[in-house]
């Protein structure tokens, strides 16, 4: 039995706004995306994967910039390649740094608003620029902008028509820590408002901070989808590292070793680190063992519940 | 309609960037200094004949088409190369409106750049010949050139990586070389369409007439026919470009 989680997306499709069905995309002999089934709904979803995993290709197919070689992509129930009216509800931030250098930030965002059929494009542009903290630099030419400022201008252009779906391909590239934190807060806020926010990244810590759900890709395939903890739980036969803070670590460790779900134990003066193949069973046994050994347990935490560990695991499985 | 104007305006602005405009004006305006240098000691009739000959032999065959080629291939080619196409394509705008807007922008920008060169040579020719109507036909032909070139080279820029080089190959091999020896392809030659419009309006000397007849081959002189052909090319191009925008993958893997 393999420990890899099922490469399908278990999201309830009833609230899905962006759906990939048996989606494949190849360029000549090179398969960039292979038979991906996944869906995205309200909230922030992180699209994770190492460089070359197929994230950008998947986003471009979903957005209608590329035609699928097989399968289907749909936004709000429609194929964006055929029904361009759907773009009224979609904002897209491409991975590339390029912008229209001959325009000012304000003109770029106003132009995007006007083409997206926003009635008062000027006001909408001002709001979007203020949202990404570019209000003061709005009249400067994009040519003179730093990479981070260009990213924010692109985000403003994607937001200006108040879209229901935002597809963001590495939107934090080139931003400084303050800008990054602000953008993450913005995406979390937009997701909280019920919009579908898809953010691709290979920086796990960023996704960990903003996404409630992740879709992981490896080698063009969907490796996993779900909440971080659900993904971790799905890796049921992979030993998990659990830390127990207690006043009697040696006694408690000796007692817990009696359970056949404990693979190894490391004891330190403040507690125990246990590698277990069944975190659920261990969780139940901790309380019993603590009572039996008269130990006081002050904290129990999963040491490897981060996206980093999940992702490392997924890559190794592939 | 609003989208069409927005796209036309923004693409025209980009195509008329300062460096490109100056560079191409140097090309299209290069006939003017030649006229001024050659004028001393020569009759106005000789200068008028020379102006007409050099306009057909150098302006319409190389200078104007190359300038229009550079502008037109950049209209969508630059967007593709610089990865800005998503900003244009991911909008609730029909691909036909985008196609029409971009081709109109390419024709307008080409006409501005060719027009600047035409005005320079027109002014120089008028000064040395005393005939201020001498450049009217060239201006009309430049408009035909702009529309026809935009029609041909905007879609080329969308699908071919080195579209300017490919277009230059087309001009030199198809239009200039093969067009001179294969009569069957002359009717579809942009060079000859442009010259047929120009010849209908220009005051030609017998020497000029000989040159024009040699260039046109089986193509009839007539500004109406030339305008109709350029318009037909533009309509076909809007359809082809719209189809390409709708069906082709326009961003790299």
Using the Cβ of B81 and the Cβ atoms of chain A, whether some distance falls under 8 Å is answered with no
Asked whether residue B184 carries a pLDDT value surpassing 90, the answer given is: no
Instruction: Annotate B6-37 with b (16+ C-beta within 10 A) or e (fewer).
Output: bbbebbbebbbeeebbeebbebbbbbbeebee
User: Distance, in angstroms, between B97 CA and closest chain A CA?
Assistant: 11
pLDDT given for residue B237 in this prediction: 97
Question: Is B212 in contact with B225 (CB distance < 8 Å)?
Answer: no
Question: Is B126 in contact with B132 (CB distance < 8 Å)?
Answer: yes
Asked whether residue B70 carries a pLDDT value surpassing 90, the answer given is: yes
Query: Measuring CA to CA, which residue among A3, A2, A1, A6 is closest to residue A240?
Result: A3
pLDDT given for residue B187 in this prediction: 77
Using CA atoms, how far apart are residues B104 and B234, in angstroms rounded to an integer? Answer: 9
Q: What is the DSSP letter of A14?
A: G
User: Distance, in angstroms, between B215 CA and closest chain A CA?
Assistant: 41
Q: Where are any strands of DSSP class E within chain A?
A: 18-27, 30-40, 43-48, 70-75, 90-93, 165-169, 196-201, 213-218, 221-226, 240-246, 262-268, 271-276, 297-302
Choose the closest CB to A90 out of B85, B90, B249. Answer: B90
Strand-pair partners of A23: A36
Q: At what angle do helices B44-54 and B31-38 cross, to 10 degrees?
A: 160
Asked if A100 lies within 8 A of B246 by C-beta distance, the reply is no
Ramachandran area for residue B56 (φ above 0: left; ψ -120 to 50: alpha; else beta)? alpha
Question: Is B194 in contact with B146 (CB distance < 8 Å)?
Answer: no
Q: Mapping DSSP to helix (H, G, I), strand (E, B) and coil, where does residue A222 land?
A: strand
Using CA atoms, how far apart are residues A271 and A277, in angstroms rounded to an integer? Answer: 19
Chain A positions touching B85 (Cβ under 8 A) are 65
Chain A positions touching B102 (Cβ under 8 A) are none
User: Distance, in angstroms, between B147 CA and closest chain A CA?
Assistant: 24
Query: Measuring CA to CA, which residue among B95, B104, B102 is closest to residue B76?
Result: B102
Using the Cβ of B253 and the Cβ atoms of chain A, whether some distance falls under 8 Å is answered with yes
pLDDT given for residue A58 in this prediction: 94
Q: How do residues B91-149 score in pLDDT, each as one tens digit?
A: 999 999 999 999 999 999 999 999 999 999 999 999 999 899 999 999 999 999 999 99
Neighbours of B132 (CB within 10 A): 12
The residues on A that touch B, with CB distances below 8 Å, are: 27, 30, 32, 57, 60, 63-67, 80-82, 84-88, 90, 92, 94, 96, 98-100, 102-103, 111-112, 114-117, 157
Question: Is B15 in contact with B74 (CB distance < 8 Å)?
Answer: yes
Query: Measuring CA to CA, which residue among A159, A166, A169, A155 is closest to residue A116?
Result: A159
Using CA atoms, how far apart are residues A74 and A83, in angstroms rounded to an integer? Answer: 10
Q: Where are the domains of chain A?
A: 13-233, 235-304
Instruction: Annotate B83-99 with b (16+ C-beta within 10 A) or e (fewer).
Output: bbbbbbbbbbbbbbbbb
Chain B positions touching A78 (Cβ under 8 A) are none
Asked if B91 lies within 8 A of A102 by C-beta distance, the reply is no
Chain A positions touching B84 (Cβ under 8 A) are 98-100
For chain A (318 residues), the mean pLDDT of every run of 10, in chain order, is 45 77 91 91 89 90 93 93 92 89 93 94 95 91 91 95 94 87 93 94 80 88 79 62 89 87 87 83 85 89 65 64
Chain centroid offset of residue B115 CA: 10
Which residues are within 8 A (CB) of A164 and not within 5 positions of it... i.e. 6 or more apart? A17, A76, A89, A90, A195, A196
Q: Mapping DSSP to helix (H, G, I), strand (E, B) and coil, where does residue B13 land?
A: helix
Q: What is the mean pLDDT of chain B?
A: 91
Q: What is the DSSP letter of A49?
A: -
Question: Is A188 in contact with A164 (CB distance < 8 Å)?
Answer: no
Strand-pair partners of A217: A222
Using CA atoms, how far apart are residues B10 and A103, in angstroms rounded to an integer? Answer: 9
Choose the closest CB to B91 out of A81, A102, A115. Answer: A115
| Nearest Cα residue in chain B from A58 | B253
Which alpha helices (H) appear in chain B, and where do they start and end? 2-15, 18-28, 31-38, 44-54, 64-81, 85-89, 95-129, 136-159, 163-169, 179-181, 190-201, 206-216, 223-247
Chain centroid offset of residue B122 CA: 17
Asked if B84 lies within 8 A of A100 by C-beta distance, the reply is yes
CATH code of the domain made up of A13-233: 3.40.50.300
Could you report the predicted ipTM of this complex, rounded to two decimals?
A: 0.84
Using CA atoms, how far apart are residues B174 and B202, in angstroms rounded to an integer? Answer: 26
pLDDT given for residue A226 in this prediction: 82
pLDDT given for residue A6 in this prediction: 43
Q: How do residues B35-53 score in pLDDT, each as one tens digit?
A: 999 989 899 999 999 999 9
User: Helices (H), strands (E): how many in chain A?
Assistant: 10, 13
Asked whether residue B204 carries a pLDDT value surpassing 50, the answer given is: yes
Asked if B90 lies within 8 A of A63 by C-beta distance, the reply is yes
Using the Cβ of B251 and the Cβ atoms of chain A, whether some distance falls under 8 Å is answered with yes
Chain B positions touching A115 (Cβ under 8 A) are 3, 6-7, 88, 91-93
Relative to beta strand A70-75, strand A221-226 is: unpaired
| Nearest Cα residue in chain B from A61 | B249
Asked if B89 lies within 8 A of A115 by C-beta distance, the reply is no
User: Distance, in angstroms, between A210 CA and closest chain B CA?
Assistant: 25
Q: Going by CATH, does the domain composed of A235-304 fall within 3.30.70.260? A: yes
Which alpha helices (H) appear in B130-204, and where do they start and end? 136-159, 163-169, 179-181, 190-201
| Nearest Cα residue in chain A from B87 | A112
Chain A positions touching B247 (Cβ under 8 A) are 67
Using the Cβ of B224 and the Cβ atoms of chain A, whether some distance falls under 8 Å is answered with no
User: Distance, in angstroms, between A86 CA and closest chain B CA?
Assistant: 7
């Amino acid at each position: 039995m393999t420990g890899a989680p099922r490469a399908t997306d278990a999201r309830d499709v009833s609230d899905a706004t962006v759906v990939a069905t048996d989606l494949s995309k190849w360029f000549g002999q090179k398969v960039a995306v292979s038979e991906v089934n996944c869906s995205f709904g309200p909230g922030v979803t992180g699209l994770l994967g190492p460089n070359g995993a197929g994230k950008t290709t998947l986003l471009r197919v979903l957005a209608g910039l590329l035609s699928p070689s097989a399968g289907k992509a749909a936004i709000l129930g429609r194929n964006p390649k055929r029904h361009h009216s759907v773009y009224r509800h979609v904002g897209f931030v491409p991975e590339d740094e390029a912008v229209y250098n001959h325009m000012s930030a304000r003109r770029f965002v106003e132009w995007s608003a006007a083409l997206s059929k926003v009635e008062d494009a000027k006001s909408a542009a001002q709001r979007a620029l203020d949202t990404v903290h570019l209000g003061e630099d709005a009249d400067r030419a994009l040519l003179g902008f730093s990479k981070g400022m260009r990213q924010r201008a692109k985000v403003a252009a994607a937001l200006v028509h108040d879209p229901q779906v935002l597809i963001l391909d590495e939107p934090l590239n080139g931003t400084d820590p303050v800008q990054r934190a602000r953008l993450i807060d913005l995406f979390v806020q937009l997701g909280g408002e019920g919009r579908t926010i898809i953010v691709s990244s290979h920086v796990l810590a960023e996704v960990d901070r903003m996404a409630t759900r992740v879709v992981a890709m490896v080698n063009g395939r969907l490796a996993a989808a779900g909440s971080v903890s659900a993904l971790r739980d799905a890796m049921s036969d992979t030993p998990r590292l659990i830390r127990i803070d207690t006043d009697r670590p040696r006694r408690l460790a000796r007692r817990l070793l009696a359970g056949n779900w404990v693979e190894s134990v490391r004891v330190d003066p403040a507690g125990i680190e246990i590698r277990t193949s069944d975190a659920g069973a261990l969780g139940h046994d901790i309380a019993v063992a603590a009572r039996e050994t008269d130990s006081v347990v002050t904290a129990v935490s999963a040491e490897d519940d981060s996206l980093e560990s999940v992702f490392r695991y997924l890559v190794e499985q592939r | 309609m609003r989208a069409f104007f927005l796209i036309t305006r923004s693409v025209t602005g980009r195509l008329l960037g300062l460096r490109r405009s100056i560079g191409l004006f140097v090309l299209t305006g290069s006939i003017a200094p030649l006229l001024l240098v050659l004028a001393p000691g020569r009759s106005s009739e000789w200068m008028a004949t020379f102006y007409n000959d050099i306009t057909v032999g150098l302006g319409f065959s190389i200078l104007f088409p190359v300038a229009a080629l550079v502008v037109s291939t950049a209209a969508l080619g630059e967007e593709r190369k610089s990865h800005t196409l998503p900003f244009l394509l991911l909008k609730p705008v029909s691909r036909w409106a985008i196609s029409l807007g971009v081709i109109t922008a390419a024709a307008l920008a080409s006409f501005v750049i060719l027009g600047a060169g035409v005005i320079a040579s027109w002014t120089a020719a008028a000064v040395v010949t005393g005939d201020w109507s001498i450049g009217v036909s060239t201006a009309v032909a430049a408009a035909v050139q702009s529309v026809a070139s935009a029609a041909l080279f905007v879609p080329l820029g969308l699908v071919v990586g080195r579209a300017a080089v490919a277009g230059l190959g087309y001009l030199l091999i198809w239009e200039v070389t093969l067009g001179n020896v294969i009569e069957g392809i002359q009717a579809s030659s942009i060079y000859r369409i442009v010259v047929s419009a120009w010849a209908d309006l220009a005051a030609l000397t017998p020497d000029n007439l000989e040159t024009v007849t040699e260039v046109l081959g089986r193509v009839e002189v007539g500004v109406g026919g030339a305008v109709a052909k350029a318009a037909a090319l533009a309509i076909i191009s809007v359809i082809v470009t719209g189809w390409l925008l709708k069906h082709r993958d326009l961003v790299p893997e």
